[in-house]
Structure 1
Amino acid sequence: MITLAAVLAIVGTAALGRWQLDRAAQKQALAAAIEARGQQAPLDGPALEQALQKAPAADLVHRPVTLQGRWLAPHTVYLDNRQMHGRPGFFVLTPLALDGPTPAVVLVQRGWIPRNFQDRTALAPVATPAGPVAVAGLLALAPARLYEMAPGADPVSETSPIRQNLDMAHFRAQTGLPVLAMSVLQTGADSEGLQRDWPRIDAGVDKHYGYAFQWFGISLLMAVLYVWFQLFRRFIRPRQQPAA
């Protein structure tokens, strides 16, 4: 029974280590695909709409865009409790009405501003040009959600400019704007009172390698302990003391 249990444990932990290596390979392939998208030619407004009709949103993440349009400043949203360089503040999101034959709108993550610790509602000034603008950036999914109370528990946060999270479908229904399914992470130098030192996408490959090392280590340790206690020690007998 001890031998069977040891074999099953060694094989099981080794299989878990192999599974983590497979996950790391998948994440590496995903990171390579995202990196390759970042090297493609930028999409303009009409090309972006066509791309969203042909491919799932996840397949377009990190694709560069260069968009022409006008800011819809009254619908600007400030996502609270967002950090940059370890400092708390707000992500500033403003919808951009795209130039083109259709009335499409894309939500742009324009950058980050610091928090005023004396007054949470006192927002740092952000310049929003009223005329035509050109925005360069990368396609992204909706901003990551943070923990919040149950939906509807805080109705003010769903309508005020300062919010904990933003749901794209709710924002579309609330504003009546034809917002596209993806947002744009604006790139370029800091400007308009905004910082844009966005973190790089981390596929988490190192984490899987770490887990694999742990599982393989446990498997090796159990093998060594089995050999020592069940095999090697049987051949080592303490010398019997001669009878007095």
Structure 2
Amino acid sequence: MAEASPLQRRLIVLLGTLLGMAITAALGFWQLDRAAQKRALEQAIAQRGQQAPLGNAELRGDAQQLHRRAQLRGHWLADKTVFLDNRPMDGRVGFFVVTPLRLAGRAESLLVQRGWVPRDQADRTRLPALATPAGEVEVEGRLAASPSRLYELGQGSAGAIRQNLAPDAYAAELGIPLLPAALLQTRAAAADDGLLRDWPAPAVDIHKHYGYAFQWFALCALLLGLYVWFQVIRPRRRRPIA
């Protein structure tokens, strides 16, 4: 096989550089597009948070209602409470308390992430005492996706203390219909139930996409700079002066 001529080698290097620049520039613009999508989502979340609270009748729990405020009435299913383990709040580790709320006038129930309680350091299996009002209560909060999941080995526990809680599986386990969303409770139904509710604002991570875009554009510029240096400037510097 004949060896490539100097002209062919220069063409190969040029095409490779152009291809690399095209790919890195496209990835940079894709990251900018992702940032624009996240910014639109951030604005949509803010707008939903300013809308009037949803009541029992209009509650669907679908994606279009996520991040909306809700003011619901129902009965706590206190014996169905689940304690999600290894959940931090304010720098401490404890439990997220999740209790189904049987909605008044509805056949469905809704998982309510009621708040956070510390874990007993001496006995990890000891459940904290909760003040759960009987009778019909009014619960205020913000609709969110199902409780966040942590990495878990195996199938997980089926007791009161769990690592994760899948609404569909939990509904089948209890034999009750559950709406797909969950409610992050923001105000106590009782005067003081001892639960912390310092829920973080919904994160959309816009700035990381700008960071990734900068990296891709910088790599694109580096490819151009290397080509110019090795294929244009350096050969000219090596030419003998007449």
TM-score (norm 1): 0.88
- 2:161 maps to 162
Which residues of 2 match residues 143-162 of structure 1 at below 5 A? Answer: 143-151=147-155, 154=156, 157-158=157-158, 160-162=159-161
Q: Any unmatched runs of 5+ in structure 2?
A: 1-11
Distance in 1 between residues matched to 2:239 and 2:135, nearest whole Å: 92
- 1:59 maps to 64
Distance in 1 between residues matched to 2:44 and 2:75, nearest whole Å: 31
Q: Does 1:137 align with 2:148?
A: no
Q: What are the Cα deviations for residues 46-83 of structure 1, in whole angstroms up to 9, with x where unaligned?
A: 111xx45xxxx222110110011121111110011111
- 1:26 maps to 37
Distance in 1 between residues matched to 2:91 and 2:63, nearest whole Å: 28
RMSD (Å) for aligned C-alpha atoms: 1.8
1:12 shift after superposition: 1.0
- 2:77 maps to 72
Q: Does 1:237 align with 2:207?
A: no
Q: Does 1:82 align with 2:104?
A: no
Equivalent pair of 2:139/2:187 in contact (CA under 8 Å): no
| Letter in structure 1 aligned against 2:187 | G
Q: What are the Cα deviations for residues 113-162 of structure 1, in whole angstroms up to 9, with x where unaligned?
A: 112222111233221111321110011111121111233xx5xx12x110
- 2:202 maps to 201
Q: Which moved more, 1:19-28 or 1:174-183?
A: 174-183
Q: Any unmatched runs of 5+ in structure 1?
A: none
- 1:172 maps to 171
- 2:214 maps to 213
Distance in 2 between residues matched to 1:148 and 1:63, nearest whole Å: 30
Matched pairs, number: 228
* % identical aligned pairs: 53
| Letter in structure 2 aligned against 1:162 | I
- 1:39 maps to 50
Distance in 2 between residues matched to 1:182 and 1:5, nearest whole Å: 49
Q: What are the Cα deviations for residues 20-70 of structure 1, in whole angstroms up to 9, with x where unaligned?
A: 10111111111111111111110111111xx45xxxx22211011001112
Distance in 2 between residues matched to 1:229 and 1:127, nearest whole Å: 73
| Letter in structure 1 aligned against 2:113 | Q
1:238 shift after superposition: 6.9
| Letter in structure 2 aligned against 1:85 | D
